[in-house]
Amino acid sequence: MAKILDGKKIRGKVLEELKPDIEKINEMLAPSKLCLAIVMVGDNSESAIFVKNKKQTGEKINIKVDVHHFSEDITADELVKKVSGLGGDNEVHGIIIQLPLPEHIEEQSILDTVPLEKDVDVLGSAASGKFYVNDKDFPIIPSTLAGIIRLLDEYEITDFKGQNLVVVGQGKLVGKPAAAYFNRKDDKDATVINPCSHTEDKKLYKRARFIISGAGAPGIIRGDMVRNGVVVVDAGTKTDPETGKIQGDVDFESVEPKASYITPVPGGVGPMTVAMIFYNLVQLEKQRLQLK
């Protein structure tokens, strides 16, 4: 029987802790206030849910969340102009590009348009550089990864050194940053293993004490693949087109009995990511205002 890593509960704690800083920032910014801009293109229903979550959460903690919703047929050039406009807008302190973008738009070029000091998701090339070279002066790390680390921390799961940690997925939101981060010698120093759908050696999963999954492939991690006592963090989010429910990468029913700790989906990494977006926004603005 695994303990549940309760992302909803910890989200509440993180947001509560942010309130004094937000109050101080809002006083300094008055009559305006701390503002996150979310750029959304097209009518992806999954994105719409995430954006709504972010907006509601922000408003609860006295942060303005402006959603800039553009139609599917916006050109890349137009979108760059819009994002540049937000980048130069003094009333906007953080910018999120809600992914995915429509196929005709190259994502990275849009992400690169977000200025470093407003890149709360750490997805632009400049902020990514700071993250991958481990620049201590840059105060934030990618929000989903930050959420995973904070969640594990809260349950005192901190000893990764020399332990096998499987990262599933090769994307920019979870797989790539998690693999790099957990392997850092001066930090977690885990033995990171990065299998994917083509991996021939399926036994690698069974060697893992920790599994962090962000593949977006529902149910690929099954109970028969993992060892007893494994800690499982599921950052996969794929909406079932029939039921509309969000599904993780982990087959909870078969994995949970073998795990020592496990995140539910929903209610695990998702809420943590939302909390850490606002955490990141606050840190960037504190740095800009030179608050301690």
| Nearer residue to a copy of itself within complex by CB, 93 or 188 | 188
| Nearer residue to a copy of itself within complex by CB, 124 or 268 | 124
CB of 119 to a copy of itself, least distance (A): 11
| Nearer residue to a copy of itself within complex by CB, 200 or 242 | 200
| Nearer residue to a copy of itself within complex by CB, 57 or 128 | 128
Burial 17-53 (b: 16+ CB within 10 A, else e): ebeebbeebbeebeeebbbbbbbbbbebeebebbbeb
Does residue 130 contact residue 138 with C-beta atoms inside 8 Å?
yes
Does residue 8 contact residue 36 with C-beta atoms inside 8 Å?
no
* The two three-digit tokens of residue 177, written as one number: 């940053």
| Nearer residue to a copy of itself within complex by CB, 175 or 248 | 175
CB of 274 to a copy of itself, least distance (A): 23
**Rounded Cα distance, 46 and 35, in Å:** 23
CB of 252 to a copy of itself, least distance (A): 25
| Nearer residue to a copy of itself within complex by CB, 205 or 279 | 205
The closest alpha carbon to 142, from 261, 283, 4, belongs to 283
CB of 125 to a copy of itself, least distance (A): 4
Does residue 22 contact residue 282 with C-beta atoms inside 8 Å?
yes
Torsion region of 162: left, alpha or beta (phi above 0 gives left; psi -120 to 50 gives alpha): left
**Rounded Cα distance, 254 and 123, in Å:** 34
CB of 9 to a copy of itself, least distance (A): 32
CB of 49 to a copy of itself, least distance (A): 26
Torsion region of 123: left, alpha or beta (phi above 0 gives left; psi -120 to 50 gives alpha): alpha
Residues at the interface with a copy of itself (CB under 8 A) = 108, 111-112, 123-130, 132-135, 161-164, 170, 172, 175-176, 179-180, 183-185, 189, 191-196, 198-201, 204, 207
